[in-house]
A and B are shown apart, each in its own frame.
Chain A
Amino acid sequence: MNDDITTSNNKSHSNFLLEVIDLTISVKQGDQWHDLVHEISFQLCAGQTLGIVGESGCGKSLTVQAIMRLLPQPDMKIRSGQILFNGKDLLKLSQRQLNEIRGNKIAMIFQEPMTALNPVRTIGSQIREQIQLHQNQLTSKETHRLCLQLLMDVGLDLVEKREKNYPHQLSGGMRQRVMIAMALSCKPELIIADEPTTALDVNIQAQILALLQSLQKKYQTSLLFISHDLAVIAQICEQALVMYGGKIIERASIQQLFNQPQHPYSQALILCSPSRNHPCRQPLPCIPQAQTENEPEQQQIERFQGVLDEYQRTEKDFSLIENKAQTETVLQLKDIFKSFELNSSIFNFRKHPFYAVKNASLKLQKGKTLGIVGTSGSGKTTLAKMIAGFLTPDSGDILYQGKPLDRSNRLILAKELQYIFQDPQESLNSRHTIQQLLIEPLIIHGIGTAADRIDKAKEMLALVGLPDHVLSRYPHEFSGGQKQRIGIARGLILQPKLLICDEPVSALDVSVQAQILNLLVELQQKLNLTMIFITHDLAVVRHIADDIAVMHDGEIIEYGAAVRICDQPQENYTQQLIASTPTWPISDNRLA
């Protein structure tokens, strides 16, 4: 044991800021400990930016929580390994020594700035608190000045006023700027950012990434950046680690990772995100789930390689496969307005209408897919809910097959159009079995006998690629992708003609997203479905949609063919939106 420490001290001659050696993290399940992260090792030099990329459950967040020693006790523990920071093993520090490093030498930025900041204290007090914890030689005046300086550094205006604000009074982007200011407040040597932009809109994400990059240079800190999004990692990091199943499977520079990925998993991961290099609506490669928990490495590699081989074999037709030319108009929106009232109370007779949708007109042809793109608050969900009949427009017409649809009659409406929700977890009643969930629409509509209904449910499950025997199970037994498949099966069981998908893939991992996108395209062709696809992700919408409507502040500002809008946007806002989407450092003739 003593030898270990001396060797680790000897190693500190090397100029690694952070060195993780054979780190194994275990979780307690019942009486047994299961390894979630297996003997990973990596190094980070001072001033370097390193990304960790991987899908949910790959152990990337656990790794950084272990570095900060934030693993939830007593259910998780670090079973073995060392985490050397400036040559000192963080795992051997006393609580006091650890507190001197946390926030001072290593700072952390979390995913969701709303919950990461204390809601009942002003942002100024939360920043000042960190300064006071580590730099008690400063007077309160100096602390205050430093706090204002930091807020200015992260690009907030009116800092004197802002620092008295509470977190809820700021926008998501501003809150994340505050988190960054807090992280920088003691000029740490290492900043760990755990998915810091995942909860933000794409244009805000671009701002935050640019800010992090410039401040990282200005303050000369190292950055360890966790994300599930390859493009974001490519944007901000010099090097990246790819994690899968609790192991680091590849470490490479960004250029190398994107152009010559070594490990078949990295290759598959890159290929399965929709991109310009992939023909629209053609199947994306799917990474199958591991069959056993402890899959041998060789078997893993073979599995990924199989995916790649399969993908290479399929012909790629870049001439956009036009959906069958049909000119029958299914849905038409004419000058739709929708407003909500703010602040109405019994004493307040003044009404403040807020227009969520302004003057929206659209046309949707049979068998085609319309993508609605926009940042949060742009009115895209409100528009979709009006089409689905959940909301009534203030004015304007919604014509379905040329006739206004009786929106008050849900029974008729439900047979024509169905809605698929973003979060498959919350849209499936957790106390119902899959069978109950699937046959409920049939019961409501009085379709078929009990046996017919079960047959129908089985048919739908087959359609979305799930086996019969899942009928008796409950939603919580399924993964996110499987739950979304169940959601789609439920949406399709009444054989609607129009399917409205509200961000159906944004809660899912990239590889699962690829599966669901493939499934939707396949179903559309098989069933001649018309689809409305709402998303904030331009790459996804370019892949799946025929037409795109770009929404901004309740208005449709650009409307036209998907590829045209994504590749030659006309409007200023669309151009900005596309420019802020992280791009891949890829030469055009890669794997394809």
Chain B
Amino acid sequence: MLGYILRRLLLVIPTFIGITIVVFTLTRMVPGGPIERMMTAYQMANQQQSSHHSIAGNTLSEDQLQQLKQYYGFDKPIIESYFEWLGKLIDFDLGQSTRYYEPVWDTIKERLPISIFYGVCTLIITYLIAIPLGIYKALKHGEAEDFATSIIVFLGYAIPNYIVAIALLYTFSFHFELFPMGGFSSDDFDYLPWQDQVWDILEHATLPLIAYISGSFAVMTFMVKNALLDNLSAQYVQTAISKGMTFKQAVFRHALRNSLIPLATHFGNNISVILMGSFLIETIFNIDGFGLLGYESLIERDYPVVMGILVISALLTLIGNILSDICVALADPRIRFGASNA
């Protein structure tokens, strides 16, 4: 098992290098870049100013252009600049943001706690809802309780989470004024005593969390329900009952662990997905998280930030996959990766 994990970790290196090549060429191949963006901005500013004057100096000189290219590292051949970027990457140097003029890593670091907070909360609450609800639905399969909860689950599945977000924001923040309109915390956050700080964050987080969860709990609930239903008809549940257990004991001591195996398979993937958030929800609630940062950087052609986010999310996915494998192996003794006693 340990050997297997080690080998999987080693495999991360070539996969990661492959990803960096793709990410780098993608950003280089796409038309338009920070210089073009700056030139457009400069031209627009110039045009407004000099609309009454003669058209002069509305483009950058060749020298200035060369300087800019040098500044962004566009003057070197693509291969050379790739290796330069990769070399910096190994030192955790993701370069400078062309928008904020500060190191990309700092930009990302600023948003990391926010994303982790939402990611972890969503993950935990989703499991806390989906597992008990799935069990309940499986035990009440075909009865009124099952149908009633199915309506909620189907609604959650059918309505995109950004629509839920807008509806929540309109109803509870705008109409009833129960919750703040957005943001991660209030402006006077730093001056509040700690109890109020916690309350403030919770107040801000409630609606976005509901929006996040509405999208993710439906699939998971059905996964739990179906897995448990399958296992309830398994022979070993009959064995358990013929041992003298009540049905409930048979479910919780025998069927449940078997039903959680499919959840374990998905556990790792959730980490990357949830940490990266959804830029739509972040936009709606004005949360300065990863998703919003990635979206804005893309629009503004802030390639160092885009590349940094892509690299980090790729790394998270790779680690998530390994985590999934470990979870599955922990939950299911039949799976021992790379064991030689097969």
Contacts and interface: CB of A to CB of B under 8 A. Distances in A.
Nearest to B258: A120
Interface in B222-277: 234-236, 238-246, 253-254, 257-258, 261
A171 to B, nearest CB: 13
A121 B254 contact: yes
A101 B332 contact: no
A341 to B, nearest CB: 12
A117 B334 contact: no
Contact of B244 (A101, A342, A343): A101
B340 A129 contact: no
Contacts of B341: 169
Contacts of B151: none
| Among B240, B242, B246, B333, residue most surrounded by chain A Cβ atoms (within 10 Å) | B242
A112 interface: yes
Given A115-B235, A118-B239, A179-B239, 18 more contacts: A70-B238, A70-B242, A99-B246, A101-B244, A102-B244, A103-B242, A103-B243, A103-B245, A107-B243, A108-B239, A115-B236, A119-B236, A119-B332, A120-B334, A166-B333, A168-B333, A343-B340, A348-B338
Given A70-B238, A118-B236, A120-B258, A95 B246 contact: yes
B117 to A, nearest CB: 34
Contacts of A129: 243, 253
B234 A100 contact: no
| Among A119, A169, A342, residue most surrounded by chain B Cβ atoms (within 10 Å) | A119
A68 interface: yes
B7 interface: yes
Nearest to B261: A120
Contact of B334 (A101, A110, A166, A347): A166
A130 B244 contact: yes
Given A119-B333, A343-B340, A343-B342, A110 B244 contact: no
Contacts of B239: 108, 110, 116-118, 179, 182
B331 interface: yes
Nearest to A169: B341
Contacts of B334: 119-120, 166, 168
A133 interface: yes
B332 to A, nearest CB: 6
Contacts of B333: 119-120, 122, 166, 168
Contacts of A104: 244
Query: Across chains A and B, which 3 residue pairs bring their CB atoms closest together, nearest first?
Result: A103-B244, A103-B243, A115-B235
Contacts of A182: 239, 243
A416 B172 CA distance: 77
Given A120-B332, A342-B342, A102 B236 contact: no
Contacts of A116: 235-236, 238-239
A276 B236 CA distance: 40
A112 B174 CA distance: 62
A102 B253 contact: no
Contacts of B234: 115
Contacts of A120: 257-258, 261, 331-334
Contacts of A291: none
Interface string A321-352: 00000000000000000000011010110000
A348 B3 CA distance: 11
B246 to A, nearest CB: 6
A456 interface: no
Contacts of B331: 120
A147 to B, nearest CB: 14
Contacts of A107: 242-243
Nearest to B240: A118
Interface residues on B, range: 20 to 34
A102 B241 contact: yes
Contacts of A95: 246
B242 A99 contact: no
A101 B331 CA distance: 32
A385 interface: no
Interface string B205-237: 000000000000000000000000000001110
Contacts of B340: 343
B185 to A, nearest CB: 44
A122 to B, nearest CB: 8
Contact of B245 (A70, A99, A121, A179): A99
A219 to B, nearest CB: 17
B241 A70 contact: yes
A134 interface: yes
A122 B7 CA distance: 28
Nearest to B247: A95
A243 to B, nearest CB: 21
B15 to A, nearest CB: 13
Given A119-B333, A120-B257, A100 B342 contact: no
B143 to A, nearest CB: 11
A86 B244 CA distance: 18
Contact of A133 (B238, B243, B261): B243
A118 B239 CA distance: 9
B269 to A, nearest CB: 22
20 contacts: A101-B244, A102-B241, A102-B242, A102-B243, A104-B244, A108-B242, A116-B235, A118-B240, A118-B254, A119-B332, A120-B332, A130-B243, A133-B244, A166-B333, A169-B341, A182-B243, A343-B342, A345-B338, A347-B7, A348-B338
B241 A119 contact: no
A130 B338 CA distance: 34
Given A118-B254, A168-B334, A134 B235 contact: no
A110 B241 contact: no
Nearest to A130: B243
Nearest to A112: B235
Nearest to A111: B235
B316 to A, nearest CB: 24
Given A103-B244, A133-B244, A343-B342, A118 B238 contact: no
Nearest to A165: B333
A474 B17 CA distance: 54
Contact of B235 (A110, A122, A342): A110
Interface string A69-111: 0100000000000000000000000010001111110011010
A569 B208 CA distance: 78
Interface string B82-117: 000000000000000000000000000000000000
A107 B240 CA distance: 11
Nearest to A179: B239
B102 to A, nearest CB: 42
Contacts of B240: 118
A118 B243 contact: no
Nearest to B3: A347
B158 to A, nearest CB: 31
Contacts of B258: 118-120
Contacts of A100: 244
